[in-house]
Homo-oligomer: A and B are copies of this chain.
Amino acid sequence: MRPMTDLEPVTEVRDMEESSVDAATNLKEQAERDEKEAGENRIEKRPRAHTLSSYTGSSSDEDEVNPRDKNQRNSKGSTDFCVKNIDNAAFGRREIEIAEQEMPGLIALRRRAENDKPLSGAKIIGCTHITAQTAVLVETLAALGASVRWAACNIYSTQNEVAAALAEAGFSIYAWKGETEEDFWWCIDKCINSEGWQPNMILDDGGDATHLMLKRYPAMFNMIKGIVEESVTGVHRLYQLSKSGKLTVPAMNVNDSVTKTKFDNLYSCRESILDALKRTTDVMFGGKQVIICGYGEVGKGCASALKGLGCNVLVAEIDPICALQACMDGFRVTRLEEVVKNIDILITCTGNKNVVTRNHMDKMKTGCIVCNMGHSNTEIDVGSLRTPDLTWEKVRSQVDHIIWPDGKRIILLAEGRLVNLSCSSVPSFVVSITSATQALALIELYNAPQGRYKQDVYLLPKKMDEYVASLHLPTFDAHLTELTDEQAKYLGLNKTGPFKPNYYRY
């Protein structure tokens, strides 16, 4: 559910060789902190849709006893979980029910496959953000026959009531908002190391469950039938494992599925850029001079949306192919330094670092809005703004004015972190697509005949991508055309797909 970046720097990936699990609490790299901060912001702006109980969030003011020190029991007597407060299960259940209404694709998958139980016998370790949407995924996996144990992939992002609702429903959940680093690894360990329950699959978001199992339980790891990984970072860690010959089980990279890259990046960012800018600055788009750095999927989405609302959009690019696309789409391609004096809004979506430097910002006119849609917090050189001559003034949540000695104000959003994560919401529909992709990947790896997948990292078979898409068509009352036998033969295709060669670009 994280907006993907066009390019992911190798340097950001945590080096698996040097960090041991036990030393993990000492890993105080900026990259990691950023992720946690992003998680923190995600609390307020987490994926959700038409509703949000006003109650959520207040629970953080509850008692400050560490859940590990509590004795909790769900209504059926189980104690195999650790959440903030099992008593809040009802509130969480309501959130889950609302999320179900907004994730038609995932629910459709549940209905279609719950008789087959394609995950019967699967024992899945889950390690992801824990939100109402995740709960719909968890309960879908269970409906398909799986047994699961679940921890959080982020110390701040757990919705406590949702975790309680899952625990009450009998799932072994180990997660709460505000874990310490030690809690974090304790929770994952509790999921993995459970008596009489030998996991055979991992659903990971960031690679921490994979990492821990590989380090602490290598024998168990070798028995795994497959890993499904969603994040850019986790995928990089898998490729590095693979390169160094340490990946002894097949893994599925769902981060680069077409249903993720084209939909999550293009269509989702097209909307979230508008939302994020409006919620933070109330800026009027009409007539504004905007520069978009980076014309990948995210940049294309942003440019199209802002052009549609009357902005005059310029594009900066390093890649001549993307630059030529920008030209053909009607945008002037220029270097940032050529126009930086005149722009009203600057948006980065490159995946690169220091795309916007202090030197650029020194030349901007007063009132210029600067934000990042691309990657982590590296694109804007925010550090260069923390100098004595500049004054920071927080004017709203996620909005800072940086004031130059002459009174010029630059408006910086989310301190240069991802503005769509920090300042807008992620539609449940997009989460539904990603979750369905994860479920399909688990089914595929679990049921694949011996030998189909080796000890490597795979992309989801195209047919699965197509199936995920088909699950989401009824939402739009879309009616697919079916090939006749004659047509299928003419095209050399199976009537049920896959319909395109692997290199097809969509």
A278→B287 CA distance, assembly (Å): 22
Pick from B395, B428, B469: contact of A324, CB under 8 Å: B469
A14 within 8 A of B: no
B-contact 0/1 string along A399-424, CB 8 Å cutoff: 10100000001010000000000001
CB atoms of B491 and A9 under 8 A apart: yes
Known pairs A328-B286, A330-B287; A317 contacts B480 (CB<8 A): yes
Residues of chain A at interface, number, CB under 8 A: 125
- This chain: how many copies in the complex? 4
Question: Within 8 Å CB of A313, what residues of B?
Answer: 330
A338 within 8 A of B: yes
A318 within 8 A of B: yes
B-contact 0/1 string along A20-35, CB 8 Å cutoff: 0000000000000000
A262 within 8 A of B: yes
Binds B, one of A195-203, A241-249, A267-275: A267-275
Question: Within 8 Å CB of A473, what residues of B?
Answer: 320, 323-324, 327, 333
Binds B, one of A45-53, A137-145, A441-449: A45-53
B-contact 0/1 string along A350-394, CB 8 Å cutoff: 011111000000000011010000000010000000000000001
CB atoms of A352 and B258 under 8 A apart: no
A492 within 8 A of B: yes
Interface residues of A in 304-345 (CB under 8 A from B): 304-305, 307-313, 316-336, 338, 342
A78 within 8 A of B: no
A428→B307 CA distance, assembly (Å): 21
A391→B70 CA distance, assembly (Å): 38
Binds B, one of A155-163, A177-185, A497-505: A497-505
| Closest A-B pairs by Cβ, 8 of them | A308-B308, A284-B427, A333-B478, A320-B470, A320-B469, A286-B328, A287-B327, A51-B395
10 contacts between A and B (CB under 8 A): A49-B283, A50-B367, A258-B505, A271-B278, A282-B425, A307-B330, A311-B330, A312-B332, A322-B506, A353-B486
